[in-house]
Amino acid sequence: MFNRLCVIGVGLIGGSIARAARQHGLSKSVVGYGRQQDIHNLETAKRLGVIDEFYLQIEDAVKGADCVVIATPVASIESIFALLEPFWSEHTIYTDVGSTKGSVVSAAQRVFGVVPDNLVLAHPIAGAERSGVEASVDDLFLNKRLIITPLSNTRTEAMHKIQCFWEWCGSLVSVMDVKHHDAVLAATSHLPHILAFALVDMLGHKDEKSEIFKYAASGFRDFTRIASSDPTMWRDICSANKNEIIPLIQQTREQLDKIQCLLENEDSQQLFAIFAYANTARQRFLNQFEGNMSKSITFQVQPGGTLQGEARVPGDKSMSHRSVMLGSLAEGVTHVKGFLEAEDALATLQAFRDMGVEIEGPVNGCLTIHGVGKHGLKAPKNELYLGNSGTSMRLLSGLLAGQSFNSVLTGDKSLSGRPMKRVTEPLVAMGAEIKTTEKGTAPLYITGKAGQLKGIDYVMPMASAQVKSCLLLAGMYAEGETSVTEPAPTRDHTERMLSGFCYPVKKQGSKVTITAKGDLKATDIDVPSDISSAAFFLVGASIAPGSDLLLKHVGINPTRTGVIDILRLMGANIEVLNERVVGGEPVADLHVVYSPLKGIDIPEELVPLAIDEFPVLFVAAACAKGQTRLSGAEELRVKESDRIQVMADGLQILGVDAQPTVDGMIIQGGTIGGGVVTSHGDHRIAMSFSIAGLRANAPITILDCANVNTSFPEFKDLVKQLGLALVCEES
Ligand code: S3P
């Protein structure tokens, strides 16, 4: 990329740039510049092989360099520009690493009159508390963000070259303007440093006997780690960006005053609301922005085992989503029990908090939702990030189409690839305005059309509870009747819960109708255990000889029990005990005992009633005697992954004869072997292959299992407790 890269200031950052450039072969030679007093550091840099040569005269250092990186502290950049000015070359690209950009622009203007067009301002968001070239490393910038802040006159090809350079070093490059950069960094970096320095300064002066530090726990260490950073550098950064920082300090002071007031008034509810918001917001940010950098999780499963005992699997995901949605829109306070504390349902919960709904919890599966009424949602300040959750995105698109504000719905990589036209097309027919990508995928840009939606009579081309629910929610804001006819019965939790909240919905055969006439009255909801999570244990106990398991309080809504019907057709021994109705939903305890299974042709009418359970049913089929055939299940191709292809691939790796078809699979039951399979980030695939371990004859390694947390975070512990040798490894 370059013949001669000149690094001005060969410290932690400059040294790491030189190392990364060498490691990736980005420059034929790398030279350094420093002042006389830096000679020791420069000699070390040369001895360590970080640079080829160093110079104490700037003229010698930059001679013949096609790229010059200024890696000195922000306060010194003006003097470096002044040194460079007589030797400034048209044929060289100059760039910097300063963590404030407005100050660099001003420095360049003072020295050059205008900022030169071959100066590309950049900021790698990476660092360490240690400084000097000895602390430099090859991979300081790997997977770290880097912001380029071009000016209107910056040469495009120079900017592209710097962008490529950083991408080769492993950075994730973003481009933004100078002012925006400085505002973002003031909030995310400069203010936290000030708070850490201020706290340690305050406590240090107060604490003459060093008591606080002696007893400091890891929370204090984590919070104040950045107060170990170089004080000179941070003095300079904070001074350089003071215009952005001062208003933030003022806001922080107001927030602390608010918390002080809440404590004085013993307002624990409001205090909790602030902490709970912060807690979930942080988790959401981590999932959203660090998801691709976060630890990957692998399940290692030893073959064999039996499932024995009693268990209660977590709350139903579909009902958990809906409890938050309808509870938020209700008049009054709704209490929810059994809420699923997993990423998908929490994404919905966060979205409603972002729209101004006060929700306490979850604490042990309990939520208290302070409903804002049907027209009480507020415009979210930012896009609503829905992680991996298709249900959140599809249902919310209907609800938000008829609001008086605009909104943007985003999701993770899997959700951003899933089809959304199935909801946007009928919504547009109702008068909604929603922009998607060309492929009809998220992000969804929704223009609120309050008072402008019109009811439609929609015949769904596919059996989808998400599409049906989306249109019913939109219908609550539409003129006239909104009707949805389904080609086959799908889960009816939305209809049941609407009735539970006293909102009128009419059902005639396969058609459901709703209008805008009605209000939701707060109620109490008891969410039963999720039959889709219980399914892993129903199959596990059915295939592992010696198993005997009781699954308590499982939701057995007839639109969800396809898995029981299919397993029974295959010869499974499942008893439904203690049937009762809880909060409008049928619930029972399920007793399952090992029984040899046989292959069957799965009746197509059961497909929508077991739509989420096919990955684990394929495992049952692999253990059954004879052939199992599934058809009419093309919907499986557009779930969190292409569940037909991904399961067929994995089963084949394990030695099973599994042939994918356009709309299903043909599986020849036999022996399950060992091997390494990947879940493609799909929670249900990861759990299904874990269950396969019960009948495998060798260990199974399942890659990419982090998303089990979207629906069943307790899975790995519960399955171990009941008898499967599963180890969860993080890397
Ligand atoms: C769901 C409906 C189903 C299901 C999903 C949850 C719901 O999706 O697969 O896990 O809560 O409405 P489709 O409506 O796309 O079939």
Atom of ligand 1 nearest to the CA of 321: 11
Nearest alpha carbon to residue 639 among 407, 425, 394, 400? 394
The H-or-E segment that residue 240 falls in is: helix 231-240
Strand, helix or coil for residue 209? coil
**Beta carbon of 464 within 6 Å of any ligand 1 atom:** yes
- Which residues lie below 8 Å from residue 42, measured CB to CB, with a gap of 6+? 10, 32, 34, 51, 54, 56
The share of the chain scoring above pLDDT 70, in percent, equals 98
User: Is pLDDT of 363 > 70?
Assistant: yes
113 alpha carbon, distance to own chain's centre: 45
DSSP 666: E
The predicted model gives 508-527 an average pLDDT of 98
* pLDDT tens readout for residues 44-94: 999 999 999 999 999 999 999 999 999 998 999 999 999 999 999 999 999
- Measured in angstroms, how far is the CA atom of residue 590 from the centroid of ligand 1? 23
**Beta carbon of 491 within 6 Å of any ligand 1 atom:** yes
Atom of ligand 1 nearest to the CA of 465: 14
Instruction: With cut-offs at 50, 70 and 90, classify the pLDDT of residue 205.
Output: confident
Nearest alpha carbon to residue 320 among 489, 490, 530, 535? 530
* Distances from the Cα of 529 to the Cα of 358, 446, 609, 622, 724, angstroms: 25, 33, 17, 27, 21
Tokens of 228: 């170990």
Cβ 184 vs Cβ 176: under 8 Å: yes
341 alpha carbon, distance to own chain's centre: 15
* pLDDT tens readout for residues 660-676: 999 999 999 999 999 99
Cβ 402 vs Cβ 476: under 8 Å: yes
The predicted model gives 468-494 an average pLDDT of 98
- Measured in angstroms, how far is the CA atom of residue 465 from the centroid of ligand 1? 5
**Percent helix, percent strand, percent coil in the chain, to nearest 5:** 45, 20, 35
Atom of ligand 1 nearest to the CA of 467: 14
Full DSSP string of 116-141 = -TTEE-EEE----S--SGGG--TTTT
**Beta carbon of 318 within 6 Å of any ligand 1 atom:** yes
For a mutational test of ligand 1's pocket, the pick from 322, 388, 491, 641, i.e. the residue with the most ligand atoms closer than 8 A to its C-beta, is 491
Cβ 454 vs Cβ 478: under 8 Å: yes
The share of the chain scoring above pLDDT 90, in percent, equals 88
**Beta carbon of 469 within 6 Å of any ligand 1 atom:** yes
- Measured in angstroms, how far is the CA atom of residue 147 from the centroid of ligand 1? 39
pLDDT at 427: 98
For a mutational test of ligand 1's pocket, the pick from 319, 320, 388, 391, i.e. the residue with the most ligand atoms closer than 8 A to its C-beta, is 391
**Beta carbon of 611 within 6 Å of any ligand 1 atom:** yes
Nearest alpha carbon to residue 679 among 717, 718, 711, 651? 651
pLDDT at 730: 86
Atom 13, ligand 1: residue with shortest CA distance = 464
CA pair distance 726, 712, nearest whole angstrom: 15
Q: Which domains does the chain have, with CATH numbers?
A: 2-176 (3.40.50.720), 184-266 (1.10.3660.10)
Atom of ligand 1 nearest to the CA of 611: 9
The predicted model gives 93-106 an average pLDDT of 96
User: Is pLDDT of 292 > 60?
Assistant: no
CA pair distance 73, 54, nearest whole angstrom: 19
408, β-bridge pairs: 445
- Measured in angstroms, how far is the CA atom of residue 514 from the centroid of ligand 1? 20
User: ∠27-31-32 over CA atoms, to 5°?
Assistant: 135
Strand ranges inside 338-400, DSSP E:
358-363, 366-372, 384-385
pLDDT at 209: 66
Atom 9, ligand 1: residue with shortest CA distance = 612
Tokens of 248: 């933030």
Atom 4, ligand 1: residue with shortest CA distance = 612
For a mutational test of ligand 1's pocket, the pick from 531, 532, 611, i.e. the residue with the most ligand atoms closer than 8 A to its C-beta, is 611
* Distances from the Cα of 236 to the Cα of 119, 183, 249, 620, angstroms: 22, 16, 17, 65
**Phi and psi torsions of 538, nearest 5°:** -60, -45
Atom 11, ligand 1: residue with shortest CA distance = 318
- Measured in angstroms, how far is the CA atom of residue 11 from the centroid of ligand 1? 54
Average per-residue pLDDT for the chain: 95
What number of other Cβ atoms are within 10 A of residue 222's Cβ? 9
- Which residues lie below 8 Å from residue 588, measured CB to CB, with a gap of 6+? 554, 556, 576, 577, 578, 579, 580
pLDDT at 41: 94
**Beta carbon of 610 within 6 Å of any ligand 1 atom:** no
- Which residues lie below 8 Å from residue 25, measured CB to CB, with a gap of 6+? none
Instruction: With cut-offs at 50, 70 and 90, classify the pLDDT of residue 291.
Output: low
CA pair distance 556, 541, nearest whole angstrom: 18
Q: Picking from 49-53, 125-129, 357-361, which range would have the lowest pLDDT averaged per residue?
A: 125-129
- Measured in angstroms, how far is the CA atom of residue 300 from the centroid of ligand 1? 29
- Measured in angstroms, how far is the CA atom of residue 466 from the centroid of ligand 1? 5
Active site residue 612: yes
* pLDDT tens readout for residues 600-633: 999 999 999 999 999 999 999 999 999 999 999 9
Whether the ω angle into residue 443 lies within 30 degrees of 0, i.e. cis, is yes
Tokens of 189: 């970096």
Strand, helix or coil for residue 618? helix
User: Is pLDDT of 237 > 60?
Assistant: yes
Beta-carbon-side half-sphere exposure of residue 537 (alpha carbons within 13 Å): 33
User: Is pLDDT of 212 > 80?
Assistant: no
Q: Which long-range contacts (CB under 8 A, 24 or more apart) does 471-474 make?
A: 471/398, 471/423, 471/426, 471/427, 471/430, 472/398, 472/498, 472/505, 472/512, 472/514, 473/325, 473/395, 473/398, 473/399, 474/398, 474/399, 474/401, 474/402, 474/427, 474/430, 474/432
CA pair distance 493, 391, nearest whole angstrom: 12
* pLDDT tens readout for residues 577-593: 999 999 899 999 999 99
Nearest alpha carbon to residue 723 among 544, 574, 539? 544
**Beta carbon of 348 within 6 Å of any ligand 1 atom:** no
How many residues are recorded in the chain? 731
Of residues 612, 649, 657, 717, which has the active-site annotation? 612
Atom of ligand 1 nearest to the CA of 322: 11
Tokens of 262: 């809440």
**Beta carbon of 612 within 6 Å of any ligand 1 atom:** yes
* pLDDT tens readout for residues 128-180: 767 789 999 999 999 899 999 999 999 999 999 999 999 999 999 999 999 99
pLDDT at 442: 96
**Beta carbon of 466 within 6 Å of any ligand 1 atom:** yes
CA pair distance 344, 711, nearest whole angstrom: 6
Atom 5, ligand 1: residue with shortest CA distance = 391
The predicted model gives 5-18 an average pLDDT of 96
- Measured in angstroms, how far is the CA atom of residue 728 from the centroid of ligand 1? 28
Q: Which amino acid is at 40?
A: H
Atom of ligand 1 nearest to the CA of 468: 14
Atom of ligand 1 nearest to the CA of 318: 11
Helices (H), 571-677: 614-623, 643-653
